[in-house]
């Protein structure tokens, strides 16, 4: 092919790329312009909260913006941040005069859907976690998790809180510490997977430590929410709350491990289809969430416990995914290929519960992130001090997690890799922050600061992880 043809092909490709971006941008602008008059009309119609028509429109608007925001993933930005930005953009539209935004923000039903999204999200985190893995990662991972929870919480609550926010309550200081404790195992694992080092020692250590970090963080959250609710802090009350949270998790996990398989078998006599299988899984998640609330804990803690309990093997009485039937038709040319096909079939069956929940999460989880972003007050973002405070806390949030990484094996680069892998707060940090907001103990300014901290840690961490992956694993 001549050089002239190559140049022409490159120009044509460049033209179509530009055209695609122009068409996409134009479509989004037209879409927003089309939604705004309809939204304003619905807001002024006077139907109020009781109108299901208005709620349907609220869902459509939030979900549409969340899905558009999720498209940022193509630019290498985690989808959670894109969906969060979508909510912030909606808040900006409300600041500019779109009245329906305040109706969405104050809608109890929309907050319910957002909370359901958080429950589904923590249930998924539990499903992807593994109790056996927590036992096998060893003392090192446990130490990383303990330091990674204790150090950020102590510095955030007892140093950063009183120093940077002296006018806020001690309850607000507790949520500062809690919000920078969390670790997003999903974001970290996705980076390791993209770099093809998921089976390496650092990756396995991080994933094990992050799971333990989640458990400890949720216990800490249970203690904080109870302290905020009762308003009293004493050594006895703290010990009682720790005992209550740990007791719930232990009893829930043991009871679930014993009862899950018999319950699954009983319902399989009624029907063995995927619909029944999904129904049992979802019912267990909701029941555990309800039981947690009866126990005085946040529903997300129950959802996480349900995810830890449920294992794909408990649902072997039901039909597997359709793709497993197609895989059964494949014939390997040799023993190696046959073994690979069998391994693939087994993996598909084991992950069927996770894949079914993924379908539900695609609807409700983006709504949770968008509704969290929608809670931000744009006026607070106009204050330069917010950004200064956010940068200071971000530095503390990064440093405290990296210090935890030095409890791992290996040299300096491996310590840095494991510490950096614990940095992204992501979806778990947002859940902690949204709970603090729901208790009305976090001011608009503090909410904005912590939201920026979560965004920065989630955005910066993958770049640091990739750098040290190349130095340690490749």
How far is residue 457 from each of residues 74, 79, 187, 188, measured CA to CA in Å?
19, 14, 11, 12
Residues 37, 139, single domain; the answer is: no
- Does residue 403 contact residue 151 with C-beta atoms inside 8 Å? yes
Together in a domain, 96 and 185: no
Token pair, residue 62, equals 């939030």
What pLDDT does 8 receive?
45
Condensed to tens digits (0 to 9), the pLDDT of residues 41-62 reads 555 554 444 467 789 999 999 9
Judgement on whether residues 166 and 77 belong to the same structural domain of the protein: no
Rounded distance between C-alpha atoms, residue 343 and residue 337, angstroms: 10
What is the distance between the alpha carbons of residues 365 and 345, in angstroms, rounded to a whole number? 28
Range of the domain at 64: 3-106
Same-domain pairing of 65 and 123: no
pLDDT in tens, 334-344: 666 666 666 66
CA 223, CA 231: separation in Å to the nearest integer?
Answer: 12
Q: How many CB atoms lie within 10 A of CB 467?
A: 14
Q: What is the distance between the alpha carbons of residues 247 and 140, in angstroms, rounded to a whole number?
A: 25
What pLDDT does residue 13 have? 47
DSSP secondary structure letter of residue 351: T
Q: Phi first, then psi: what are they for 55, rounded to 5°?
A: -65, -40
**Domain boundary at 67, 88, 106, which?**
106
User: Tell me, what's the pLDDT at 341?
Assistant: 61
User: End of a domain among 55, 88, 106?
Assistant: 106
Same domain, 85 and 120: no
CA distance 206 to 140: 10
Q: Which residues contact 142 (CB under 8 A, 6 or more apart)?
A: 209, 212
Question: What residue has token string 């949030």?
Answer: 397
Average pLDDT along the chain, 474 residues, taken 10 residues at a time: 45 45 46 51 49 85 92 82 93 91 91 92 82 69 91 94 92 92 83 80 83 85 83 74 86 88 86 84 92 88 87 69 60 62 61 79 92 92 94 96 90 92 88 88 92 93 90 80
Number of structural domains in the chain? 2
- For residue 427, what pLDDT is reported? 83
The CA distance from 255 to 393, in Å, is 41
Together in a domain, 308 and 456: yes
Residues in the chain: 474
Cβ–Cβ contacts within 10 Å for residue 22, how many? 10
């Amino acid at each position: 092919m001549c050089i002239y043809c190559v140049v022409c092909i490159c120009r044509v490709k460049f033209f179509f790329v530009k055209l695609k971006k122009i068409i996409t941008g134009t479509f989004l602008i037209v879409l927003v312009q089309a939604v705004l008059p309809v939204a304003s009309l619905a807001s002024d119609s006077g139907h109020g909260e009781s109108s299901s028509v208005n709620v349907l429109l609220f869902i459509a608007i939030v979900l549409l913006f969340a899905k558009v925001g999720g498209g940022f993933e193509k630019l290498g930005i985690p989808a959670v941040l894109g969906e969060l930005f979508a909510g912030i953009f909606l808040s900006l539209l409300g600041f500019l005069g779109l009245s329906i935004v305040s109706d969405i923000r104050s809608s109890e039903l929309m907050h319910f859907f957002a909370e359901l999204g958080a429950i589904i999200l923590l249930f998924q985190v539990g499903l992807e976690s593994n109790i056996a893995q927590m036992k096998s990662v060893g003392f090192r991972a446990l130490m990383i998790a303990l330091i990674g929870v204790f150090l950020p919480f102590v510095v955030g609550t007892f140093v950063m809180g009183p120093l940077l926010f002296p006018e806020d309550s001690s309850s607000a200081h507790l949520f500062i510490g809690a919000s920078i404790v969390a670790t997003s195992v999903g974001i970290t694992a996705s980076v390791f997977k993209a770099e093809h080092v998921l089976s390496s020692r650092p990756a396995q250590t991080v994933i094990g430590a992050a799971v333990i970090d989640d458990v400890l963080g949720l216990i800490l959250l249970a203690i904080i929410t109870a302290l905020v609710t009762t308003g009293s802090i004493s050594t006895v009350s703290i010990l009682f709350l720790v005992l209550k949270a740990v007791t719930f998790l232990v009893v829930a996990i043991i009871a679930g491990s014993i009862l899950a398989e018999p319950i699954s078998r009983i319902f399989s006599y009624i029907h063995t289809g995927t619909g029944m299988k999904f129904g049992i899984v979802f019912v267990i998640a909701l029941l555990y969430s309800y039981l947690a609330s009866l126990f005085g804990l946040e529903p997300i803690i129950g959802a996480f416990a349900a995810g830890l309990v449920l294992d794909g093997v408990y649902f072997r009485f039901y039909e597997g995914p359709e793709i497993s039937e197609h895989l059964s038709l494949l014939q390997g040319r040799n023993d190696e290929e046959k073994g690979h096909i069998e391994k693939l079939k087994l993996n598909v069956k084991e992950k069927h519960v996770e894949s079914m929940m993924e379908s539900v999460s695609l609807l409700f989880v983006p709504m949770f992130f968008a509704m969290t972003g929608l809670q931000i007050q744009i006026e607070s973002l106009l204050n330069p001090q917010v950004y200064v405070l956010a940068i200071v806390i971000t530095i503390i949030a990064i440093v405290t997690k990296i210090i935890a990484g030095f409890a791992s094996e290996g040299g300096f680069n491996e310590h840095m890799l494991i510490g950096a892998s614990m940095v992204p707060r992501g979806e778990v940090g947002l859940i902690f922050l949204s709970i603090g907001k729901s208790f009305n103990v976090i001011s608009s300014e503090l909410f904005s600061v912590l939201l920026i901290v979560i965004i920065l840690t989630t955005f910066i961490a993958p770049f640091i992880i990739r750098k040290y992956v190349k130095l340690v694993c490749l």
